[in-house]
Amino acid sequence: MTARILGLDPGLATLGFGAIACTPNAKDISESISCLDFGIIQTPAKQDLGERLKTIYEDLHALLDQVQPDLVAVEKLFFYRMGNTILVAQARGVLILVLAQHKVPLVEYAPGQVKQAIAGHGNADKYEVQQAIARELNLSQIPKPDDAADALAIALTAWFNHEI
């Protein structure tokens, strides 16, 4: 049986997503995981906040209908600039609402946990994590943009932590 994990990297301007398919107990470890899709949901900076949140709401509903995940993994909110953190928190609230409406289980990981799971240590830089993502998913190149790569890393973290 194959399970689908959707990773989400929350943001108001750019919300990254990455979907993977996982086969528990696969005989060949290289065939136990594959990349289904990745990308971003973008909202224009000049658009009204309510409209931006509405776009995220609608696009997440469509994404969940398309991917039909068994589990969603989300990066935990961390504080770096208060103004930006509040906006990300609002987008994250919409994200959690949509997941609840779809009745999809949610797990959360701090950025350090993702780096540890993907690169083997919590101080890994972005490029090191991106190389590990490409290697684990047998991708010919590093996934772009960065937000999508981060979302794939979050999905992989859920898989590596045996959440399914």
> Cα separation of 116 and 138, whole Å?
20
Tell me if residue 33 falls in helix, strand or coil: strand
pLDDT at 71: 97
Mean pLDDT of the chain: 92
Summarize pLDDT for 34-65 with one digit per residue, the tens: 999 999 999 999 999 999 999 999 999 999 99
Q: What percent of the chain has pLDDT over 90?
A: 80
Task: Find the catalytic residue in 51, 147, 150, 163.
Answer: 147
Q: Say whether 147 is catalytic.
A: yes
Of 48, 75, 125, 150, which is the active-site residue?
75
Q: Does 75 qualify as catalytic in the annotation? A: yes
Of 40, 21, 25, the C-alpha closest to 137 is 21
| Active-site choice (9, 28, 59, 125) | 9
How do residues 94-140 score in pLDDT, each as one tens digit? 999 999 999 999 999 999 999 999 999 888 999 999 999 999 999 99
- According to DSSP, residue 141 is labeled S
**C-alpha to C-alpha distances, 82 to 51, 75, 78, 79, 156, nearest whole angstrom:** 22, 17, 10, 7, 29
Q: Which of 22, 15, 13, 122 is nearest to 63 (CA)?
A: 15
